[in-house]
Amino acid sequence: MTIEARPTAMRTHVCGSLGVDNVGETVSVCGWVAKRREHGEHLAFVDLRDHTGLLQCVVEGSVDVRSEYVLRITGTVAERPSGTVNPNLVTGAIEIVNCEVEVLSVAEPPPFPLDDRAAEVDETIRLKYRYLDLRREQMQRHLRARAAMNSAIRSAMDAQGFVEVETPMLIASTPEGARDFVVPSRLHPGSFYALPQSPQLFKQLCMIGGVDRYYQIARCMRDEDLRADRQFEFSQLDAEMSFASQEDVLEVITKAVADATMAVRGAEIGEIPRMSWREAMNRYGSDKPDIRFDMELTELTEVFASTGFKAFGAESIKGICHKGASENTSRNKLDDLTDSAKRWGAKGLVWMRASEGDDGEVELNSPIAKFLSPDELSGIVAALGVEPGDVCYLVADQWNRTCHVLGLLRLALGRPATHEGGLQFLWVIDFPLFESVDEVTGKPVPAHHPFTMPHPEDVGLLAGEPSEMLNVRSQAYDLVLNGWELGSGSVRIHKGDVQQQIFNLLGISSAEAAEKFGFLLDAFRYGAPPHAGFAFGMDRLVALLLGEDNIREVIAFPKTQSGADPLTEAPTGIDQDHLEDLGLRLLPKTT
Ligand code: ASP
C-alpha cells in the first residue's frame, strides 16, 4: 500500500511515504526518536518514528537526541549502502543523510520500551501511560483498523438508506438486563439519569417517528463485571428498520459486517450460514457455537434407552469424541476435566479411552465400562465414530445441562487460538422467548429483551402453563463470530396490547410498566409501524478481525478489569460542595 506524503507546515513527508523513488530529494520529516545507535564519536543512526513507520536518519556532529525526543529532521534521501538494506521496514532501502536536526520537544525516558517488548509489560502500566503505548506500531495499526471499520460500516449503512440519528446519553433507563450507571441530577435533587445500556427504546421511537431506517455507532454503558471481551462502555452498530422482517435485518447487517471485514482484513466473508438455537445447543452445546472446529455433541440417549446403569437414567445423554487424544491425556488431566464439568453443573463426567482390542475391535476403557452392556459400548463406538487412540466424554443430565457442560468441554479441548482457524460467522435464529423460569417468582425470564416479538406460531402457548413458556420461540437472532456473540436483534412487538401481555407474563405490573416504559406504550397508541432491528459490538468485531482476544487492545483508553482507569484515576471522589449541589450525602465506608 502506498502511503501519501501528507505535508504540513513542518514536514514535507511522513516517514513511511519515503522510498527509493525519492532518492536525491531534500525532505523534512517529524517524529519521535525510536532508537539511537552511535557509530564512533560524531556519527549516529537515529530511527525516527511517526504513525507510518520508522525512518533511518544518519546524523553527523554531536547532537543531543535521546529516546522519544520529538525531532524535525531535514536532509537528503539516499539509497542505503548495499548490504545494509532492511527488508522488514517500509523505508528499509533508504536513509536520510546530511541531516539538520531540530529538537521540537525533549522527553524523559519512557517507563517501558515502545516496541513489541511492551507486550510483556504489566497492563496497568501500559494503561497508565496509554499515550506512550499508543505510539507503538501495533496500537497505531489497531486504532487505524478500527477507524477503517467504522468508516466501512457507516458507508454500508448509508448506502442502504439508513439515517444516522444520535440518541441521548442522559436517559431514564433501558431494559437490557444489566445494571444502569446513574448520574445524579443537580436541578432535580434526588433524581437520577441513567446512561444508556443501548438506544433500544429511542430507536423504536424513531420508527414510530417515521425515520424508517435508523442507525448509530452508539456508545452503550452497562455496569457489569468486566472480562477480556467486556468493558463498562462499548460501541455498537445499532440499527432499526420499519416494515421489515428478520430476513431484511439479516441482509442489511450481513452487508455491514462484510464491508467491515473487507476494510480490516481484505477478505470476503461469503454467505453467513444459519442455525436454529435448538440445533446450536444440540450440536455445539452453546447458543454461540464456535464452528471453526468439529468435535460435535452426539446424541446417545437412545443408546441407553433401557440401560441398567443408574447414572445414565437421565433426560439426555450426549457425548463428544476427542480424536487421537488418548496418548496426551493423562489421568490427572481427566480428573481436572471431571472437576471442571462438576463446576459447570454436571453431576459427573464419564470418560473412555479407546484402544484396539484383541479381536481388532475398538475397546473402550473406563472405570464405568463394566456397568455397560456390550451393545451399549458398541453403540457409543458407532454413534461417536470412535477409533483406537481417541478419548470420549459422556454427560447424562437434563437436556440443557448436558448440552451446556459438553459445550464448554468441547471448547476446553478443541478451541483454536483467536487468531487461528479463519473467520466463521454464524446466524443463530429462532431463539426461545424466555431463557428460564425464575425459581423464586415463578415468572419467565426473557432471553433477549421484553420488546421481542414471539414467533407467530407459538403465540398461543403464551396463555398456557409456565412450563410451556420455555417452548415459545421468539423472532430473535444473534450474530456469532468464532464462538463470540457479536450481537443480537429481534422483530419487535409494535402493538400496545401484546406488549402489555408480555409485561404481565414477566411479572412487570401495569403500574411498573407505565412508570418505566409508559412513554413507549403511549407511543404505540399513535400508529407504530412493524419494525425490527439489531446491534453488534464493534469492539468485539474489530478485536476478532485483528486476531486479538482482549478487547482492551482495540480500545484507545480502556478500563482495567476492576473498572478503573489508571491514567486519569477514574473513578474519583467529588468534593463536599459538589455533593451538596447534587443533594447527595455519602454513607460511611463499610469495609
Ligand atoms: N438493544 C439490543 C442490545 O443492545 C439490540 C437490539 O435488540 O437491537 O443488545
Q: What is the CATH number of the domain that holds 394?
A: 3.30.1360.30
Residue corresponding to grid cell 402453563: 465
Query: Separation of 489 CA from ligand 1 center, angstroms?
Result: 5
Q: How remote is the CA of residue 241 from the centroid of ligand 1, in Å?
A: 13
pLDDT exceeds 80 at position 173: no
User: Ligand 1 pocket, 475 CB below 6 A?
Assistant: no
Q: Within this chain, do residues 529 and 561 fall inside the same structural domain, yes or no?
A: no
C-alpha cell at 62: 554531536
Distance CA 442, CA 438 (A): 5
Evaluate whether residue 580 is within a structural domain.
Answer: no
Q: Is 175 in the pocket of ligand 1 (CB under 6 A)?
A: no
CA dist., res. 33 & res. 68, Å (int) = 5
Question: Residues 516, 557: one domain?
Answer: no
- What digits encode the pLDDT tens for the residues 457-490? 988 888 887 778 888 999 999 999 999 999 999 9
Between residues 101 and 174, the one the model is more confident about:
101
What residue's CA is closest to ligand 1, atom 7? Answer: 489
Q: Which domain holds residue 303?
A: 294-414
Examine the domain organization and report whether 310 and 353 are in the same domain: yes
What pLDDT shows up at residue 229?
86
Q: Are residues 307 and 380 in the same domain?
A: yes
Whether 287 maps to a domain, the answer reads no
Residues 246 and 156 in one domain: yes
Give CA–CA dist 454/469, Å, rounded: 11
535 lines ligand 1 (CB under 6 A): yes
| 147 shares its domain with 179 | yes
Q: Which residue's CA is the nearest one to ligand 1's atom 9?
A: 488
517 pLDDT above the threshold of 90: no
CATH of the domain at 51: 2.40.50.140
Q: How confident is the model at residue 300 (pLDDT cuts 50, 70, 90)?
A: very high
Banded pLDDT at 257 (limits 50, 70, 90): very high
Looking at residue 591, its pLDDT comes to 67
pTM of whole model > 0.85?
A: yes
462 lies in some domain: yes
Centre of ligand 1 to C-alpha 244, Å, is: 16
176 ligand 1 Cβ < 6 A: yes
Beta carbons of 71 and 102 less than 8 angstroms apart:
yes
Asked whether residue 505 falls in the same domain as residue 557, the answer is: no
| Tens of pLDDT, residues 44-92 | 999 999 999 999 999 998 889 999 999 999 999 999 999 999 999 999 9
Asked, for residue 232, whether it belongs to a domain, the answer is yes
CATH number for the domain including 247?
A: 3.30.930.10
| pLDDT value of residue 330 | 97
- Atom 4, ligand 1: residue with shortest CA distance: 198
- In this prediction, residue 27 carries a pLDDT of 98
Mean pLDDT, residues 502-528: 90
Cα 372 to chain centroid distance, Å, stands at 43
Nearest Cα neighbor of 545 from 150, 243, 251 is: 150
Beta-carbon count within 10 A of 327 CB = 9
Asked if residue 402 is part of any domain, the answer here is: yes
DSSP class of residue 441 equals T
Q: How far is the CA of 442 from the centre of ligand 1 (A)?
A: 25
Q: Which three cell numbers stand for residue 274?
A: 444459519
Indicate whether 71 and 179 sit together in one domain: no
Q: Which pLDDT belongs to residue 443?
A: 85
Helix (H/G/I), strand (E/B), else coil: 367: coil
Residue pLDDT, tens place only, 224-240: 998 888 999 999 999 99
User: Is the Cβ atom of 534 under 6 angstroms away from ligand 1?
Assistant: yes
Lowest mean pLDDT among 85-94, 181-190, 418-427, 440-449: 440-449
User: Is residue 127 domain-resident?
Assistant: no
Q: In the chain, pLDDT over 70 holds for what percent of residues?
A: 100
Q: Which of 336, 279, 314 minimizes the C-alpha distance to 395?
A: 314
Given this model, what pLDDT does residue 53 score? 95
Average pLDDT value for residue range 266-270: 96
**Span 133-142, average pLDDT:** 97
Q: Per the domain annotation, does 36 fall within a domain?
A: yes
Computed from CA positions of residues 454, 457, 460, 461, in that sequence, does the dihedral angle turn out positive or negative? negative
Q: Which of 461, 434, 430 is nearest to 445 (CA)?
A: 434
Residues 510 and 465 in one domain: yes
Out of 162, 171, 176, 216, give the residue to mutate to test ligand 1, the one with the largest number of ligand atoms within 8 Å of its CB. Answer: 176
200 CB near ligand 1 (under 6 Å): yes
Residues 523 and 548 in one domain: no
Let me know whether 361 and 408 are in one domain: yes
Lowest mean pLDDT among 351-360, 386-395, 421-430, 498-507: 498-507
Q: Is the CB of 533 under 6 A from ligand 1?
A: yes
CA distance 525 to 541: 38
Q: Give yes or no: residues 147 and 265 share one domain.
A: yes
Q: Give the Å distance between the CA of 471 and the centre of ligand 1.
A: 22
Number of domains in the chain: 4
For ligand 1, atom 8, name the residue with the nearest CA: 534
**426 pLDDT exceeds 90?**
yes
Q: Is residue 246 within 6 Å of ligand 1 at its C-beta?
A: no
Give the pLDDT band (50/70/90) at residue 498.
Answer: confident
